[in-house]
Amino acid sequence: MTGDYSNIRIADYTYDLPQERIAKYPLPERDASKLLVWDGNSISDRVFRELPSLADRNAMMIFNNTRVIRARLIFRKESGALIEVFCLEPHLPAEFHTNLASGGPVEWKCLIGNLKRWKHGQLESRFVHAGREYILTAERNGTEGDAFIVRFAWNDNQLSFAEVLEVMGHVPIPPYLGRDDEECDKSTYQTTYARISGSVAAPTAGLHFTPAVMESLKKKGIDHAEVTLHVSAGTFRPVKADIIGDHMMHREHFFVSRGVLERLRDRKTTAVGTTAVRTLESLYWLGLSSAEGRWPAAGTPSVAQWEPYEKEADTDPAVAIDSLLSAMKQQGLDILEARTDIIIVPGYRFRMVNNILTNFHQPNSTLLLLVAAFTGDAWRDIYDHALSSGYRFLSYGDSMLLRPGGG
């Protein structure tokens, strides 16, 4: 591994976040949130609906159009014990759309709450949809890593698993909100442009956008494109290790169309959220591995956690994109599907991302490391300013526009 990135001490990337600064709910108007703007030298305080006049007109804005599924299922045993089954990602069928559209039994990788009260046997829950009662069963069927494989079945193949989740599931709001999900979260914990179901956490930078802001961006001539990265629950996983090299990064699935890749080839970008950052930067490394013949003969290509740090890479991003387009043409693909475990830490050199729009992240988190990688030591000034200026933090909080070139 080039450099000594794995030995970064997480204690050097933390700050004191009082509980009262964590936004428990969003503002009534999404675009009324505060927007901190950092231009590489100075910091200014704005309102989010001003974004169209502040964004880099030469940079294409990249949105993550993933849609949050109601991934938390609650079962009550005959003893009265409550078991929570948190669906992380599909196992069988493994493809998101096929699994969610399935009317038959499906399997998911899950986290299980109150596991000691569910040692064996089936869980069962009744629910009503369109005036008819159904029964959903859950059965443990092995493990994979730190997750359990759970088989779900229900008594009507005309009902898809996506519909089961919509009726039975709970919105997977972050645990640091310290409350149960409520009816309002069904709409507020979803971007207004969400289209492709699969996330178990929202791409929260996108929560500030309204149709009015989107229309204003269009009128200002700011180009935009969509990618899909299904956010995993690992985004909330705190870094418990002393050094970042001992932290295992979560894997996330993403999808990018041929048309978007062609538009990205020679463009500056503004990534809306860290999920868009991870997608864009992963494209570069996928392009390199494709050019070097390192894609699997069968299955889905992926970017390993420390792959970007294992050797020097000076390949032009346009060449990496061309390699992806060539590989897709050879395989007859219109959509690139891939997985990424990429971790972005201080010292990382960004290839695809020029500006970032993001929320304020937890102390001791990989997302804070990503911000520090992009801003250098200025991340401390940015967070100190936000704390002293009344900004609201985390998923339902305010946001910042990081544009080191000044836009």
Tell which wins on pLDDT, 235 or 398: 398
Q: How confident is the model at residue 1 (pLDDT cuts 50, 70, 90)?
A: low
pLDDT confidence band for 2 (50 / 70 / 90):
low
Question: How confident is residue 120, by pLDDT bands cut at 50, 70 and 90?
Answer: confident
Cβ-based neighbours of 95, under 8 Å, separated by 6 or more: none
Give SS3 for 168.
Answer: helix
- Residue 407 pLDDT: 59
Average pLDDT along the chain: 95
pLDDT at 138: 97
User: What are the tens digits of pLDDT across the range 326-342?
Assistant: 999 999 999 999 999 99
* Angstrom distances, CA of residue 286 to CA of 114, 259, 338, 349, 367: 39, 17, 9, 16, 21
Q: What percent of the chain has pLDDT over 70?
A: 99
Q: Cis omega (within 30 of 0) on the bond before 296?
A: no
Instruction: Give the tens place of pLDDT for each residue, 261-288.
Output: 999 999 999 999 999 999 999 999 999 9
Binned at pLDDT 50, 70 and 90, residue 235 comes out as confident
Question: Worst-scoring range by mean pLDDT, 41-50, 51-60, 118-127?
Answer: 118-127
State the fold for domain 5-68+187-402.
QueA-like (3.40.1780)
Tens of pLDDT, residue by residue over 375-402, are 999 999 999 999 999 999 999 999 999 9
Task: Flag whether pLDDT at 372 surpasses 80.
Answer: yes
Distance CA 194, CA 246 (A): 34
The arithmetic mean of pLDDT across residues 31-36, rounded, is 98
pLDDT for the residue 146:
83
What pTM did the predictor assign?
A: 0.95
Q: Is the pLDDT assigned to residue 302 strictly greater than 80? A: yes
Whether residue 406 has pLDDT greater than 80: no
Query: Stretch 139-168: mean pLDDT, rounded?
Result: 94
Q: Are 38 and 247 in contact (CB under 8 A)?
A: no
Count Cβ atoms within 10 A of the Cβ of residue 18 and give its class: 0-12 exposed, 13-18 middle, 19 or more buried. Answer: exposed
Q: Would you state the pLDDT for residue 3? A: 66
Give burial (CB, 10 Å; 0-12/13-18/19+) of 202.
buried
Alpha-carbon distances, residue 7 vs 1, 262, 348, 372 (angstroms): 11, 37, 14, 15
Q: Is 293 helix (H, G, I), strand (E, B) or coil?
A: coil
pLDDT at 44 over 60: yes
pLDDT number for residue 4: 79
- Rounded to whole angstroms, the Cα distance separating 407 from 403 reads 6
pLDDT score, position 6? 87
User: DSSP letters along 62-101, please?
Assistant: EEE-EEE---EEEEE-TTS-EEEEEEEEEEES-SHHHHHH
Backbone torsions φ then ψ of 307, nearest 5 degrees: -55, -40
Parts of the chain belonging to CATH 3.40.1780.10 = 5-68+187-402
Query: What pLDDT was estimated at residue 237?
Result: 73
